[in-house]
Amino acid sequence: MFKLWFSEYKNSLKMVEVEEIFDLIYFRPLAFFLVKIIYNTNITPNQITKTAIIFSILGGIVFTLGTPAAFVGGALLFMLYNIFDCADGQLARLKKNGSNLGRIIDGFGDYIAGVSVYIAIGIGFANHTSNPLFYWLLTIAAGMSNTAQSMALDYYRNRYLDYAFDRDLLLGENLH
C-alpha cells in the first residue's frame, strides 16, 4: 500500500532536482493528499489554480488588518494557497492533462499571490504604526528581494535543465 502511494506521489512531482526543498518536504505531500481526494472527480487543475488564487487574495485581505492574529490567519491562508498551488500541477501530471494555458494561469496566479501578499502586509503594517513610510520601504525591499531571488532561481533552474538534459536553451544562447 505504502509502496503504491509513494510511487504515485513520485509520479506527481516535477523532477526532484528542481523542486524547492520546502515544497518537497511539506507542501507537496499535503497537496498530494488533496489530489488523492479529488482525483476521481471532474475537478480540473485549472479549477485548483483558481482556488489557490482565491486563497492568496483572501490571505492578503486578512493581512491588511495588521494585527498579530490577522498575520497568523493570513499566513494560514497563504499556506493553503501554496498547497493548492502544488496540487494543480500534481493533478495535471497524474491525469496527464496539463496544458500551456494551465501553465500560464498557474504563473499568473503566482504573481497575483506575491503582489497581493506584499501589498497587504504593507497596508497592515502601515496602518498600525507611527512610521508607515518605514514599513512601506521595508515591505518594498522584501518584495524586491523575493522577486530577485525568484528570478535567479528560475534562471539557474532552467540553465541546469538545459545543460543536464541537452535541451534547447530557453534564452537562445549557445552551449558550445
**113-131 tens-digit pLDDT:** 999 999 999 999 898 888 8
pLDDT at 10: 83
Of 95, 150, 140, the C-alpha closest to 118 is 140
pLDDT at 74: 96
CA distance 14 to 86: 10
pLDDT at 16: 78
Mean pLDDT of 162-169: 79
User: What is the value of pTM for the model shown?
Assistant: 0.84
Burial of 92 (0-12, 13-18, 19+ CB in 10 A): buried
pLDDT at 157: 84
* Per-residue pLDDT at 33 exceeds 70: yes
Of 22, 20, 30, the C-alpha closest to 157 is 20
